Amino acid sequence: MKSRPAILILLVSLCFCLGLGTVLLGEQTDASTIERLISLFPPGGLGDIFSPARGEQTTVLLLGIDRFDRPDPALRAIWLLAFEPPDPKVMLSGVPSNLDLVPGADVTLDSFFGWTPDGVVAPPFLEALERALRVEVDVVVIMDEYAFGALVDYLGGMPLEAQLGLPFEGDVLSGPQVLALHTVFEGDPVSLVGLQASVLSGLLPQAAKLGPNPDLGPILALAPDHADVSINPTQFAVLLSHLLPIKAEYVTVQTILAPIP
Note the pLDDT tens digit of each residue in 196-247. 888 877 787 787 777 666 676 787 788 889 999 898 877 877 787 777 676 7
In the three-class reduction of DSSP (H, G, I as helix; E, B as strand; rest coil), residue 212 is classed as: coil
Instruction: Please say if the pLDDT value at position 57 is more than 80.
Output: yes
In the three-class reduction of DSSP (H, G, I as helix; E, B as strand; rest coil), residue 79 is classed as: strand
Instruction: Please say if the pLDDT value at position 147 is more than 90.
Output: yes
Mean pLDDT of 151-163: 80
Closest CA to 246 of 220, 214, 212, 208: 208
Q: CA 254 to CA 197: how far, in whole Å?
A: 9
How many CB atoms are located within 10 Å of the residue 238 CB?
Answer: 24
- Average pLDDT taken over every residue of the chain: 77
- 130, 137 contact by CB (below 8 A): yes
Instruction: Please say if the pLDDT value at position 40 is more than 60.
Output: no
Pairing of strands 172-173, 58-65: unpaired
Window from 3-17, 47-61, 237-251 with minimum mean pLDDT: 3-17
Q: CA 260 to CA 157: how far, in whole Å?
A: 35
Give the pLDDT confidence of 164-194 residue by residue, as tens digits.
555 455 588 899 999 998 899 988 999 999 9
The CA-CA-CA angle for residues 178, 100, 127, to 5°, reads: 90
- Residue 12 banded pLDDT, cuts 50, 70, 90: very low
Domains and CATH numbers, the chain: 2-255 (3.40.630.190)
217 CB-contact burial (10 Å; exposed 0-12 / middle 13-18 / buried 19+): exposed
Closest CA to 57 of 140, 142, 126, 136: 136
Phi-psi region of 8 (alpha: psi -120 to 50; beta: other; left: phi over 0): alpha
Give the pLDDT confidence of 104-143 residue by residue, as tens digits.
788 999 999 998 888 889 999 999 999 999 999 999 999 9
Stated pTM of the model: 0.76
